Amino acid sequence: MARTFKASSKPPGAHATVAQLIDYGARRFDEAALWFGHGSDNARDEAAELVVFGAGLNHADAPGIYGQALSDEQRTKVLELFERRVRERVPAAYLTHRMWFAGHEFYVDQRVLVPRSPIAESIERRFAPWIEGDRVRSVLDIGTGSGCIAIASALALPQAKVDAADVSDDALAVTGINIERFQLCERVRPVRSDVFAGLGSARYDVIVSNPPYVGSTELSELPQEYHREPRLGLYGGDDGLDIVHRILREAAGHLHPGGILIVEVGNSQDALIDAYPTAPFTWLEFERGGGGVFVLTQEQVRRLGA
Ligand SMILES: C[S@@+](CC[C@H](N)C(=O)[O-])C[C@H]1O[C@@H](n2cnc3c(N)ncnc32)[C@H](O)[C@@H]1O
């Protein structure tokens, strides 16, 4: 049965300001017990994004815009976005078709996961201290989705060529939109590939991946917002590690000596450690939160398979 949510307070009327609409949206979202895990972690930030987007404003102009009264047309658009967010339990990014990653704005739609990997921070640091950024000539992103990791890597490492690989044609269509948007057609190549299968014998200085890593039990317990995302982007088999095992098995043969492998496994970190009790994973720490990302050198990956 469809659930209905009644707002306890009335929506702001004519001449409502940006701040009043943000307050209303935040209350409405909290009352509806929405889940926030797609770029923001609270009702207020998400309401602010929908107000700024719906009214055609810029976050960069805050706080100056908070006292600004919206036209009827702007207010109606914002209230419609609020209602869709509540009714459809859809991540806000699928309503606005945008998400920031490593400081860059990407186009997104329901063909790809909403970008949110903490790997963004490693990219901003040009993968230091694990590799010297200036010597990175080649990067492979496995499971590229929107292309956020591949494109942000290309922007951080202007001398590198990047393969943006995904098994999903739908996802690769979105990757292509973003490659064009950032005018990176010369350096970022979308490739249809099932893990390494479509890449021949290519080798890279950096292999980076945010693969699907959600296990069966965790998937069934995820809030509804996650079920709006492509299942192919989330589900990693019973224990979540199907794709990760394949990456670990084959990565050594696709890395240059001195190269590195960086993979996000999120909540499947413990399962991975259990599966490879002697593996020398280094688990990265992030200032902006998130975790479950390991790095291994080419030599360490090679020894795992030996
Ligand atoms: C967790 S999403 C990550 C998307 C993007 N890299 C990001 O960080 O937002 C995982 C991606 O892996 C892709 N994928 C799933 N199975 C794959 C496979 N066997 N080979 C390559 N890509 C795969 C999915 O289509 C999805 O785009």
pLDDT of residue 39: 87
Nearest CA to ligand 1 atom 6: 144
Question: How many angstroms separate the alpha carbon of residue 279 from the centre of ligand 1?
Answer: 24
Question: How many angstroms separate the alpha carbon of residue 234 from the centre of ligand 1?
Answer: 8
pLDDT of residue 1: 35
pLDDT of residue 4: 45
Q: Which residues of the chain have pLDDT under 50?
A: 1-5
pTM for the whole structure? 0.95
pLDDT of residue 5: 46
Nearest CA to ligand 1 atom 13: 143
Question: How many angstroms separate the alpha carbon of residue 268 from the centre of ligand 1?
Answer: 16
pLDDT of residue 2: 40
- Residue from 167, 222, 247 to probe ligand 1 pocket by mutation (most atoms less than 8 Å from CB): 167
Nearest CA to ligand 1 atom 12: 143
- Residue from 99, 232, 254 to probe ligand 1 pocket by mutation (most atoms less than 8 Å from CB): 232
Question: How many angstroms separate the alpha carbon of residue 113 from the centre of ligand 1?
Answer: 8
Angle at which helices 242-250 and 298-305 pack, to 10 degrees? 100
Backbone angles phi, psi at 20, to 5 degrees: -65, -40
Nearest CA to ligand 1 atom 14: 143
pLDDT of residue 306: 60
